[in-house]
Amino acid sequence: MVTARDFNELDKYAGSWNLLAFNSPHQHPVLTHSWISTYLKTSIPGGQKWFCLFAFDNNELVGVLPLIANEHRFLGGRYMSLQTPVHPHTMAVDFLFREDYGNRVIRLFAGFLNGMRPRVIRFKMNMVAYNSPSLDILKRGIDQIHSCFYPYSQVSIVPVEGSYNEYKKGLSRKFVANLRRSYSKLEKLGDISFTVINGGADVRENLLSFAAVEQSGWKGRKGTAVRYKFWRFFEELVINMGKREWLQWYFLNSGDKRIAGYLTIPFGRSVFIFKTGYDEEYHNCSPGSLLTEKMLEHIFSSGKYDVINFFSDFKWLLRWNVEQKPYYNVLISFDNPISIIFGRIPSAIFAGSPLVRRLKAFVMRKK
């Protein structure tokens, strides 16, 4: 096992890490070196430290776990709490491992964390995806650790089954009629086109173009558009993902003007719909909805994917007949007195609290 604590060490495993993530049972782009290194370089809160664990079998990388460390002082001692990277555009980070190595990787990493100094009070995995194989392993039980689970939020997905026309039959008649009316309004503007841009071509130009569309609307007024709040993160991320052809842009155009855009990440047998925006000057034509239909039709017809993951559970997605799946927070404690007293017992109390029960009922009701 290797522990990396600086970017020279981290980047040394970039290629094998990306390959492991792409071929792992998780199939989630957030688990790649491209994504995690971007987060660590641009978004880690000040004062926090990070390190990353790597597991090998005969020099082959079989497991990765990036961690953020917070130090605490009480009872005259120094202690740590750990968590996986998380912020509004980074979630679902958990144990990454090669297929059939889950138990061994989790046991190896758990043993290391349990033996660290300062002592680890607890370890929190934030917003673990509903289909993560780590969840099944932890629920079955692992020596040295104890886990508490609770659903935290949701993600909307569309299984890619059959043709787009078959999928469209599941949409409400009223919504489909509204789409037709929006097309008619938009066509009156003339010279309407749909563009798909693959891979790393003109990455920065496309990001600037997408950002201009996004900030023209309510996100710009609220100051939440990527151009204002997360620019450094997005700029580095799209460059990193574009180099590996894990990037796809969809644009709806009126003449030479882009009026709606999607930034998506095709990864394995899934497409992750990462960011969307539209020009509110055209809001009467519903350009966002029209682009969504064009994008879904293109993905269905490609035959390359099994699921479309919208990375969120925005209410407007419900009109697209999505399935909603839970993200889980996982609280892990270790078999030592400090972790049991200050990690396991509080975690168990919290996980069984009325607040969490209400949250669980709300999330599960919306599945």
The reply to whether 64 falls in a domain is yes
pLDDT band at 105 (very low <50, low <70, confident <90, very high): very high
Same domain flag for 107 and 56: yes
Mean pLDDT of the chain: 88
Res 365 pLDDT > 70? no
Please report the pLDDT score of residue 361 as a whole number: 55
The reply to whether 183 falls in a domain is yes
CB 18 within 8 A of CB 244: yes
Same domain flag for 194 and 257: yes
Res 367 pLDDT > 50? no
29: domain CATH number?
A: 3.40.630.30
Task: Give the Cα separation of 44 and 5 in Å (integer).
Answer: 14
Same domain flag for 40 and 141: yes
The reply to whether 245 falls in a domain is yes
Res 363 pLDDT > 70? no
Please report the pLDDT score of residue 145 as a whole number: 83
What does the DSSP 8-state code read for residue 88?
Answer: T
130 Cβ neighbours under 8 A, 6+ residues apart: 155, 325, 326, 327, 328
Same domain flag for 166 and 287: yes
Task: Give the Cα separation of 275 and 87 in Å (integer).
Answer: 15
Same domain flag for 90 and 214: no
Same domain flag for 12 and 147: yes
Average pLDDT estimate for 52-72: 95
Task: Give the Cα separation of 178 and 157 in Å (integer).
Answer: 22
Cis ω for the linkage preceding 118 (within 30 of 0): yes
CB 164 within 8 A of CB 297: yes
Same domain flag for 209 and 259: yes
Res 356 pLDDT > 60? no
Please report the pLDDT score of residue 353 as a whole number: 57
Average pLDDT estimate for 146-171: 92
Kindly calculate the radius of gyration of the chain based on its CA atoms and give it in whole angstroms: 22
- Dihedral sign for Cα 290, 366, 217, 219, please: negative
Domain count, the chain: 2
- 259-289, pLDDT tens digit by residue? 999 999 999 999 999 999 888 888 888 999 9
The reply to whether 316 falls in a domain is no
Same domain flag for 281 and 346: no
- 224-265, pLDDT tens digit by residue? 677 777 899 999 999 999 999 999 999 999 888 899 999 999
Res 196 pLDDT > 70? yes
Task: Give the Cα separation of 88 and 111 in Å (integer).
Answer: 30
The reply to whether 203 falls in a domain is yes
The reply to whether 333 falls in a domain is yes
Please report the pLDDT score of residue 223 as a whole number: 67
Same domain flag for 255 and 121: no
Res 89 pLDDT > 80? yes
The reply to whether 186 falls in a domain is yes
Same domain flag for 169 and 149: no
Res 167 pLDDT > 90? yes
Which percentage of the chain shows pLDDT scores above 90? 59
Containing domain of residue 80, as a range? 2-153+326-365
- 330-340, pLDDT tens digit by residue? 988 887 777 77
Same domain flag for 257 and 285: yes
- 297-315, pLDDT tens digit by residue? 999 999 999 999 998 888 8
The reply to whether 315 falls in a domain is no
Same domain flag for 40 and 92: yes
